[in-house]
Structure 1
Amino acid sequence: MAVRRRMVNAIDGRFHVLEQGEGPAVLFCHGFPDTAETWRSQMQAVAEAGYRAVALDMRGYGLSYAPTDPDLYTSLHIVGDLVGVLDALSIDTAVIVGHDWGADHAQRAALMRPDRFRALVSLSIPYTPRGEIDHWRALREQGLGDTYYAFDLMKQGAEARFAEAARSIPSILYWLSASPDPAQRWDPTNPSRHMLRPTPVTVPSWADPAYVRHSVETFQRTGFRGGLNYYRALPRTFELMPAYKDAVIRQPSLYIWGAADGLCQLFHPQTPGLADLRKTQPNLVGQVRLENVGHWVQHEAASSVNKALTSFLAKL
């Protein structure tokens, strides 16, 4: 089934979009450092199941609109992009699927525009409502201000550490996955186990070489500033969204995560109970824990993710 590629005009700028299949729309949102190409397996599965799969290079990535100012990367801006892409494609409503930062903004999209996003699938990042203090401040108050990886990524000039994409992209893919020995995997709170260490392989065994090559070539061209701006914009998002304090997501939802993912091990070391998850997502239909899978669930366990996703869609 052919993949259609085009540029569309959204609200703030032009966005690169991939499409596959016909039917009810499913919109895919990627995280850091990635592009729409990360969803090719899921798009194929969804298209074959009778849906219109749509994935975009998110703001700051690939061929899409990429302002330099971090204040232009808040959730309000990103959700505006997603709505604008739906409008450009004449799509009234979509199921939204997100991974990493894409999951965070997919969750905010479901929260802010339930009229446009009828269901939600989150990969690797559980939904957390806006609380009393922003996420970065909360981590600092937990004593992680000197060790949590994101604080290093937000520093001025952090882009230079990633700039050699032929080295940094394979390192990030490898160390954040379940491929390394558990004692060597990326640990978001241990600077000695950071994501940019030299990797023993150019392409992890679970990764499509064409996908890795595309990612390297893309970031060699664009750099990493757009992606890192998502980290820098989080406090501003917090400031702009007091009306959403403690707000729950009421659409049908699904959560998929890898048991070997360093982020998941930090934020919920054990399998979170559905009762707890449903406090903030009362219509969460379930969660899928994938054993021996790290952060890149859509690649490391593509068939399991595809099965869970298409099953969820069929029951809506």
Structure 2
Amino acid sequence: MTNLTHHHIDARGIRLHVVEQGNGPAVVFCHGFPTTWVSWAHAMQATADAGFHAIAFDMRGYGESDAPGDANLYTPFQTVGDVIAILDHFHIAQAILVGHDFGASIAWNAAMMRPDRIVAVFGVSVPFLQPGGPSFLDQLRAAGADDFYMFDQMTAEADVKWADAAHSIPASLYWMSGEAPAEMRWDPFDPDRHLLRPAPAAPTTIDPAYVEEMVRVFARTGFHAPLNYYRAIDAFFAVANRTFAGCVIRQPSFFLTGAADGLNAVRSPTEKSLRPILPGLRGFVALDGVGHWPQLEAADAFDAALVSFVRSLG
């Protein structure tokens, strides 16, 4: 990568590590669990080369950013505030957001909460969850889906289960990727097909240097703060289901997922199912043979879809 500039900024009381590249309209990248801004390196380069100002950052709790211990400080109310603080720091009036996994949740919620600042969303792997009525977790609890993986991720014991980064990082990357055999691939509802099983290897579709970097970072930082994103879900929906019930995302949007992503079993997103809550939806892509990490497993196809979308906004 070329011409990267690193910053450590004060985002209204929390220190965030921010990386930028290129010039033009702003495209801000929000990552998910468990990774850092580095997961966007290839996409940032492609976006900057296409004439945009690519900005990625370590979400609170990750990498070189501050990591508050309190799980209540990881709801979208705080993390959307981090995004807006970054825009303010760089004097950016409006931006396009790209988000994967929990970063997608942040991107969708930022568009819902701050349509004055967020002009478009490119969501990856996690669709918009429209507030109102029982949350998706409460729906699963009512259905008796006690083995759903997020309930385990929310426990204090999860910190220890994930603690050995040299095991947990390559294992989770492999089992969530499209490379794992379909009958053994991660299933979010089946505890026997969990993320932390010993894996035969890291997926060959993901750069080994990326895997090594993630092991190094999480061996240093641990997983308590990243897992707080799961622990904050109920607190967010307790408020959002009253405050934002029935909201839709009217800005231009795009949804991309891996066709082999186990997470698709949670919401089964399709273009038809998303359009009522994303009336500005301009495209839907499910990449064949790709799992939960499309920006890593199929970087060229991912970049092509992203660049086409952001260019269409001009």
Same fold (TM over 0.5): yes
Residue by residue over 1:50-99, the C-alpha shift from the partner in whole angstroms, topping out at 9 and shown as x without a partner, is 00100010011111121000011111001011101111122111100000
**Residues of 2 paired with 1:21 and 1:278: CA distance?**
32
**Residues of 1 paired with 2:200 and 2:156: CA distance?**
29
CA shift, 1:143, in A, is 2.0
Q: State the SS of the aligned residue for 2:137.
A: helix
**Residues of 1 paired with 2:266 and 2:71: CA distance?**
26
Q: State the SS of the aligned residue for 1:140.
A: helix
**Residues of 2 paired with 1:197 and 1:49: CA distance?**
40
Aligned to 2:215: 216
1:30 aligns with 2:27: no
Aligned to 1:306: 303
Calculate the TM-score normalised by the size of structure 1: 0.96
Q: Tell me if structure 1 keeps the 8 A contact 2:74–2:229.
A: yes
CA shift, 1:212, in A, is 1.1
**Residues of 2 paired with 1:125 and 1:158: CA distance?**
22
Aligned counterpart in structure 1 of residue 275 of structure 2, from 258, 266, 278: 278
**Residues of 2 paired with 1:63 and 1:71: CA distance?**
20
Number of positions where the alignment pairs a residue of Structure 1 with one of Structure 2: 311
Residue by residue over 1:19-63, the C-alpha shift from the partner in whole angstroms, topping out at 9 and shown as x without a partner, is 111111100000000100000010000000000100010011111
Aligned to 1:46: 47
**Residues of 2 paired with 1:215 and 1:278: CA distance?**
35
What code does the residue aligned with 1:185 have? R
Aligned to 2:286: 289
**Residues of 2 paired with 1:66 and 1:85: CA distance?**
17
Q: Tell me if structure 2 keeps the 8 A contact 1:259–1:265.
A: no
Residue by residue over 1:126-161, the C-alpha shift from the partner in whole angstroms, topping out at 9 and shown as x without a partner, is 11201211221111112212x101111111221000
Aligned to 2:152: 152
What code does the residue aligned with 1:96 have? L
Q: Runs of 5+ in structure 2 lacking a partner?
A: none
> Higher mean Cα deviation, 6-15 or 192-201?
6-15
**Residues of 1 paired with 2:142 and 2:177: CA distance?**
28
> Higher mean Cα deviation, 148-157 or 184-193?
148-157
Q: Runs of 5+ in structure 1 lacking a partner?
A: none
Identity value in percent: 47
Q: State the SS of the aligned residue for 1:262.
A: coil
**Residues of 2 paired with 1:115 and 1:173: CA distance?**
36
Aligned to 2:69: 68
Q: State the SS of the aligned residue for 1:288.
A: strand
Aligned to 1:252: 252
After the TM superposition, which segments of 4 or more aligned residues of structure 1 sit over 4 Å from their partners? Answer: none
Calculate the TM-score normalised by the size of structure 2: 0.97
1:104 aligns with 2:105: yes
**Residues of 2 paired with 1:167 and 1:2: CA distance?**
33
> Higher mean Cα deviation, 88-97 or 250-259?
88-97
> Higher mean Cα deviation, 7-16 or 22-31?
7-16
Aligned to 1:225: 224
CA shift, 1:234, in A, is 0.7
CA shift, 1:240, in A, is 2.2
Superposed, 1:125-204 pairs within 5 Å as 125-145=126-146, 147-201=147-201, 203-204=202-203
**Residues of 2 paired with 1:57 and 1:231: CA distance?**
17
Q: Tell me if structure 2 keeps the 8 A contact 1:12–1:81.
A: no
**Residues of 1 paired with 2:295 and 2:225: CA distance?**
22
Residue by residue over 1:265-302, the C-alpha shift from the partner in whole angstroms, topping out at 9 and shown as x without a partner, is 3321xx6143x311101010010111111000111111
Q: State the SS of the aligned residue for 2:263.
A: helix
Q: State the SS of the aligned residue for 1:110.
A: helix
What code does the residue aligned with 1:92 have? A
**Residues of 1 paired with 2:119 and 2:43: CA distance?**
19
**Residues of 1 paired with 2:157 and 2:86: CA distance?**
31
Aligned to 1:121: 122
CA shift, 1:255, in A, is 0.1
* RMSD over aligned Cα atoms: 1.0
